[in-house]
Structures are given as C-alpha cells and as structure tokens.
Structure 1
Amino acid sequence: MRIFSKTACLLLFFSHLAVETPAQQEIRSAKKIESLLRKTSSEVADACIKLVIRDTVADRDFGGFSGVIVSSDGTILTAAHSVQPNHRYRVEFPDGQKGIATALGKIALDAENKQFDLAMLKMEGKGSWPFVMMADNRALILGEGCLAISYPGSFFQTKPNLRFGRLTNLDAGDGLIESTCKMEPGDSGGALFDLQGKLIGIRDKIQVNEDENFDIPVNLFRQYWSALQKPVNYRRLPAAEPLPPVMENKRFTVASPAHFSQFGLKFTNQVTTLHSTKGNAQQQIQATEISMEQKGRQQILWLSKSSMLGEQPWMMYNGAKIQLNVISRDPDNDLVLLSAPDSINNFHGLKLGKVKYKPLSPVDLGRFLYSPISPEDCKTGIISTGEIKLPLLFSRAQLGALVFEEAGKMMVKDIAQNYPAEQVLKIGDQIISINGKVIPNEQVYQQEMNGLVMGDHLTLGIIRNHKTSIVDLDFKERPTRDIAQRYKGKRSLRSDGFEKVFVQDAAIRSDECGGPVFDRNGNFMGINIARHSRTATIILPLDVIQKSIAKMMDSAKS
C-alpha cells in the first residue's frame, strides 16, 4: 500500500465531501444485502483491530477493546473510556500480526448536549497500515443498513465478529447515533460501517434492550481532529474545526427484519417444543425434527439441547401430551437424542444422513440465517464468524468454596458470598464424596469439580461436627446488575465448551435453542445450541451433529 503524507491523508479523509442530494434505495433482497456485507467486510476487516491492555508488572493481559485504523500512517479511532493518553497498547490484527500503538488525545465529557467519548491512537513505527475511509454522518438516513466489526469480550478470538443492523436514530438526543447492530463489552471503540464500506461510527454504549446500541458519529472525530492528535485528556471541550460540505450521493435503506423472516416460516414444521421438569422447575426448549433410516424404514427422532432437558420430556401432539424417550446424550456437544411412540405420524424430519457438510469459508461471513421458532415466528441473523473452538469458560460451574487437603482430608477453609457453597456448606466441613465418588485427595477433588458445568446437579458427602450427611445443590444462574447480561434472551447456562461451532447475531432466547438453522437457499446449517452473549448465538455445524447422532445411536445399541 502507498505511503501518504499527513496532508495527503487529510485530503483523502475529506475529498469525498461535496454538495449533492442523497439518493435513497431500499434493499428488500437478502441476496443483495449479503453481497454488500461480503464486499464491505472483505474491504475493511483488515483495519479493524483489537487493542490489548497489558500489565507489564504482573506480565499479563487484563483487558481488551476494539479500534479501527483510518489512515495509512496508522491513526486509530476508538472510545475514550478505554484509553489513557501516552499509554501504550498492543495491537492485534485479524491476520495474526501484532504491533504497538500509543494513545494520543482523549475527550470524555458531556458538553453542548452531547456525550463526547473520543480517543485517538497512533501506530508506532513506520509502515503502510490497512485503513478505512470515513463517511459523513450528515448524509445518513433512517433505516439505512449498517455492519459492525469488532471484538466482543465474551470471545477470545483473533478475528472479529460481524453484526448486521439498521440505523434507528440519527441523533439519540445526546449526539450519538443508534442502531440495531448489537454490542457488548469489548466492542467499545470498534467500527460501524454503512453498506458502501465507509466508517460511520465508533461503538460506544448499550441499553438493556438488545436493539438499543449507540455509536459515536465519525463527524465528531473530524471536528476535533487536531485536538485529538495531542496527548491530552481534555477536561473541557477544545475548539472544533468546521466540517466541509456534504458529498454523499447513494444511500441504502434495508427492509425490516419482519420482511426477511417470512422466508424462514416455511421451516417451522421442523421445530418442536419440548417440556420437562429439572429439579423443581418446569422448563421448555426447542428441538429439531430429524428422519433416520432404521431397519429399512424411516424413524422420526428429535435432537435438542441436553442441559435444558430433564429425564421425562414430553411434547404436545394433536392436543395430547406425548411422552418422549431419551435415546442417548452427548455431553461434549450438549445434545440429546429422543424418540416418540410408534403411533406418532405425520412428521417428516430432516434427512441429515443425505446432507453433505460444507465447511465455512471467509465468503460465508454475512450470509443470512433463518431460525424458525414457531408457526408465527422466525428470527433472522447473519453468520458472524467462521468455525471456531469455544473453550469452557463462562459455563464452568463455580462452587465458591476454598477447599484444601489437610492431613489427608479435604477441608472447607473459606466460602465466597453469593455462590452455591453458601447454601449448603460451612467452614470446617470435610468433603468426602462428589456425586457418589469418594474424594481421597485434592487431585481427585479438582478433577471432579472441573468436570461440572452450569446446570449440573451436585451431591456432596460431608462430615460436619463428626456427623456424616448428604447435601445437594444445582448450579444456577447468579443474579447480576451488569447491563450487558440483562438482555431478554439470557445466556444459556451451558454456553461454551465446544470443539467446533460458529456464531450468528440473531437474538435467540436461551429457551429457544435446540432448533434448526437454515440459509436463504433452504440449506440446513446446524442447530442453535446456546445463547452465548448479548451479541451471539452459537450454532453446532452439520458435521458435528452428524457425528454426534452416530455416536449416540451406537451408544444406545450397546
């Protein structure tokens, strides 16, 4: 890439601004939107970076956020609440390359009826860095399509996540623009693009409603460009620079999600709602109807999310309650396979044995996905990531007890507040068994505890005051005041610990998981296995499902 002088770079930033009337075009074709998303992401993703905060004393990373490069000499825009002037940050590019950036100016204050949360950094060293062009916020229109590219904190991945949405407010009353492009911690400072691949905003904050996401307009960075190039934490608003005339001549609005979701309603006959009791609670979850050939005839089975299904599941069929049989469970993929009595008919099911798996490639990013929920409801999203490994982290069960081996006994030394241990244990208890297994030492204790995930039941054998007893608890979701965790769908208790998944940005509720996912051509893409975060629903791809079914069928035979 060519090296530009500062003057040339500034001319590039502003050269696309002149007086013209925007031409509005509404896009109602999913195929057309996919094409625009693919083109935009391929052109700009290399400039969308992760910024990592490094504790050099403790020699560890302790936080990260997002940013975007807007000049070939390495000028970076991000949100001010993540940085401090003159501090250095590690820069990680999507292709795995790394660098260092130094924070320049920061404006984090409320003034002139606007919220200012602007920060600028600069790459260290010489180089021709990938960069994006900026649009002009004055040319934006309501309903315009937009694409967010950033690094959500609930993922520890080298590549960013994509999210698609529409502009819903061009001035939310505080100078920010509002869209349905979902955001979560870690996305702060990331990029929001229009469908022409121009930067229109920097990711900033959220409300509880998943469709309320707020971005800093890039025009604010333009107005305070000179001030932000100085390493100053401004306590009052610096002098602004005038904006040149507007020159945008083509804008894209997109149809509402309801328009696109109509396509997926044709697949709702592949979805069944399952009911069960787990502990003392009644719960429901979706299931995917599949057809398997058994002894020369087709048998209808149901595939669902194991951790959300008790041992006596049932469904409603023609107004009657039908008990289902659990054939087998696959804890690695959190899947369960079920069958119904032979009297059940009029089901067709997906013939997964005849479907050929095709691995995702970079060109698949941005493709529309359809998740049928009920005869009246289908949710749409886009493919946000390629296939990734999602290690067990958020779903790991946390007892909240400090347990040490002492003279050959596993003794409770401390108990954390607001954790499950507080309900059943006391300091000084001796733990002698976990789920019926004798615990002779600390190694066995850690091994058994590390195998537990959220949603699991735990039975502990303990000795207290020289008396042996049994205590039981369930690992349930803990209350939180974190606004990023209070979305309607709620994180699934088991939301990670998968060898291969991919991500979509549809807002699937945790009790709507287990159902199938299709692309706009009607191809079966996988099963929604978990709601992972405010921005992400996790999908098990076809090949994982096929192998899991074969494994469960073999297990049932043996």
Structure 2
Amino acid sequence: MRLPPFRPISALLTCLWLVLAAGLCLSPALSAESQPIAASAATSQTLDELLSVQRQVQAALDKALSATVGIRVGPAQGSGVIVSKDGYVLTAGHVISKPGQAATFILSDGTTVRGKTLGIYTTLDAGLMKITDEGTWPAAEQGESADLKPGAWCIAAGHPLGYQDERPPVVRVGRVLRVLNGQLHTDCPLVAGDSGGPLFDLDGRVIGINSRIGSSTDMNYHVPVGVFRDAWDRLVRGDCWEDHLPRKESRGVTEALGRLTREVAQCVVRVECRGKSVALGTVVGTAGWILTKASELNGPPVCRLADGRRFDAQVVGVDEKFDLAMLKIDADGLQEISWNSAATPTVGQWVAAPGPGAASPLGLGVVSVPQRLIPGERGVLGVGLGRAGPGARVVRVLSDTPAEKAGLLENDVITHLDGCPVEDQEALIGALQERRPGDPVRLTIRRGVDELEILTVLGKVDNAAARKREMQNRSDVGVSRRHDDFPVVLQHDMVLKPNECGGPLVDLAGGVVGINIARGGRTETYTVPSHVLVPLIDDLKSGRFLPTGAEAIARSEAKREREVWVTSNETNAEPGQRLPDPRRGGGERRQ
C-alpha cells in the first residue's frame, strides 16, 4: 500500500501499524512482465564489488542529499527532491493530496522555505511542487528509469517518520529487484515519512520517487522518474488526473445502471443531523414515511428529498435488531419504493445502490455469500473466573482492562450483575456475552467480609489479530458505527461510505431487494433483505416501537460517550479468551 504521509506523534502508531501490518494484503501481484534478478556477474556479491559500491555511494551522497527535502503540507509530512535550480520538487502524489496548497520545505541543512503544491498524476502516485521563495536551489540530476535492470544498485533517501531536528536525510542502499509497469521494486527499506523521497542511482541521479511498501522490508515501490518526465507539462500546470482504467464501474456501465435505477433514485433521501449527512433514507410510504439507519441518528433528523426539498423529521419507530428507524415528515404524494421480495439474490448476482435522485448509482457489486447472520462483538470484562459456590471467584485480573481499572482484585467474588444474582462463573460469562463493548455494568462483589459495588464499562478483545482486523477494515471508507449483530443480511462487495447506508439495493431487473444497513468491513456491505423488511414496515409506522425522540437521542449520545471511553482506554491486553473449563479439570475462565 502507499506510504502514508507522516502525521504528528498522535498518529504515529496508527500510521506505522497501517503501513507495516496492512501492506501484505494490499501489495500488488507481480506482473508477467516483471524481470527476475538473473544469476550473473552483474548481481555477484563479492567483497570487491561491495567496496566499489561503497565508494560510489559515498561519492554520490553529497550532491544527492543536498537536494533531498522534508515536506509539510498542513499536518502531513513527507519527503521530496529538488530537480531544478528554480525549485521544482518531485514527490509522491499522495503527499500533496491536492494542487494549490501552501507547503513548507525543510532543506538538508534544516533551513525552511515556502512553496506550493502543483499537479498530481494519481494513478501512478506522481506529484510536483515548487519552492516559491526566491533563490537558487541545490538540484539533483534526473536519470533514466527506462533502462534500469534488476540487480542495479540504488540509494533511497528521505525522512522516515517525518523530519527530525539535527538528523539529515536518511540513506538506505539496496538493489532494484524488479522493473514493473509504472513502478520500481527495491529492497531499500522504507517507512511512513519516506513518501516522496528520491531513489538515486550510483551516480546520484534521480531514478524514482518513494511511493509505497508491503509487509516485508524488501517490498518497497517507487514511481519511475520517467513518469514525471512524460507528464511534466500537466504537472507544472497543476492538473490533477488519473488514467481511465477499465474498472467494473466504467462509464458505459454506470450510464446503463443510471437508466435502470432512475425511478428508484427518486425514492432515496439524504438524512442529516446537526447539519451533517449521516445516512440515506428510503421512502416507504407516500405520506412521508422514510426508513433509515437508526444508530446514525445523533440529533434531530432532517430529510433532504431527491427534488431538493428539506423537511424536519420525527422518529416514530425503531427496530434495534436490524438498526432501522422509521421517520415521518410532513409531506404527501411522495414516490414510494416498490419491493421485490419474491426471490433472494444469489451469490454472484449483480446489485447496485441508487443515490438520491442521482443519474448514476453510488456503486455496483455482487452478492458475495448466501444470506447469513452477522454475530455481534461481545463485551469483555478482563478477568479469569473460578468456582465460588454461589457467585464467581476472580482468579486473575488482566492488566489494562475494565476489571483492573474498576479495582477488581484476585479472590473477589462477584455475587450480582446489575442487581441480578450470579449463580456461578458460567452464568456470569453467559450474561456478559449478551453485552457489547461500551455497555456499563454494575458488579456486586464480596471481598473478605465486605460487600462492595463496582461500576465499569465493558471493553473489547484487544490482541494482535483483532488490531490487524480492525485496522484493515477501517482503512479507506471505514465502517459503520453499528456494523454487526444482525439476525440476517445479504452481503455484497460494493464499496459504500457509512453515510451512504439506509438506501435501497436493486438487482439488474430494477427490483428493490433490500436496504443497505451497514458498511461492515473493507470487503463487505450488509443489506437487510426485502422479505425481512416488508413485514416490519407497518409495525414501525404504528408507533408501538418508539423510544421517544428525546430518549432515543439521549440513548444514542450516552452510547457514543461510552464508545469514546472504551476507545480511549484500549490496551494491549487480551481479554475475552476462554481458558480451560474448570468443570473439565480445573483452571479458570476469562471474561
């Protein structure tokens, strides 16, 4: 994946984890045109050759490093290289983000100068910048990337993890491993902050720009300098463009889908809370009935119809199992959705998501698996439990968990959970497994002869596998606030943003087969099927399933605060793992 621009210390661990842990799944497969290193004299590793390389590297460094710069664009940091005396700077496109921004360059001697961002060729991650302060700047010569062969020695430079005072540009030496279409692959180890830094040949000429990495330290990818040379005029003009690649959502496909979904799109509304778009809604009744995603309603809802009209909305029904909320607006004569609940879509079947009145759909995908249950994440207390007669005895308190923070100690006996008696450790585990991360719990404990009450908030499983899964799923568009614990859903591979859930899903016949209810992960979006939705609609309209508007909002806010508490207290402990069942030879159970 691309090296993220380095951000201040608060984001350091997140960026580093994203680069090092996620890269394995996101690194590209090597093309058939890649050129493996040949076993020849050109790639021999004799001592004489190493000494020769050493002399060439040291001879090239003075001029090469003087042209290497640190870059700051807003809070982001990266690297770059000056390639002209009037101050043009090559960097990675994702460091720039967009043209026309103010930037700061940090020269190799620590001097700072002002500049601006110019053009971006996003497909190949090439970006250009310009120093705007007056002066003549140390510039590196551009080499030739087209003639590079595997085995060629190279020098990578940059500011790993961002510019540091008193540290000059950092040098790494390696070889070109493969020459791919539009990129070079080397074993010069890179990390966040190196983005945009130069790759030099042994003569100190720029042959590439650091772009992204994989999970292994020998998986480092660079934009060939020839890409910049070929696109120079557009980069200087400040253009921002990408290649028109043959994606599944090509122009012809989206135009055809737009015609197919045009009528359904008139039944889609945008739902806003506190001035921000939080979800989509689907018109399910001509008299102003709109179905949307309940957990995103963090304030009084406002519905913006496909024709642009805005209406304050009232929550009149909530179905917590499927995270649905029925809204009512003061409007009549709306176009109502027409359901197709006769057949459940099958794996491999195309589906699309219309936007509010949009000429083309929000996305295209296929049903990924048969309809299924999505289990909920379970709350974790962070203790090992053993027998205690009535109650559950604490035999271990895991570090940095809700249990430790609440003051639970070994040999405490938990006698009640939220006022209900605890028969034994199995009963307590079963009760806690019904709770979710962020849920508050009240424990009554016996400590010696004393009886105490302890309040805490359940956490989540936190181990290497869980952190990796969380980071992978939250990359790119992220996941919905509520993205699990659904009795049954359709799962498809369409990439929808969390605030694009709540709208309808259609098949290639134009039939509405469900409502998109959650972005579940990097590869999946969940839909409540039509055959499940239709029987719920009248009940939701009836008002029998209504937490009052004030109560619903208060509950949402309270849950949000608990989630913030849990997130701010995440740790490296591994609660939630079950140890051997004490009924099968002793031991403890964790919860």
Q: Structure 2 length as normaliser, TM-score?
A: 0.43
Please identify the structure whose Cα radius of gyration is greater: 2
Q: Structure 1 length as normaliser, TM-score?
A: 0.45
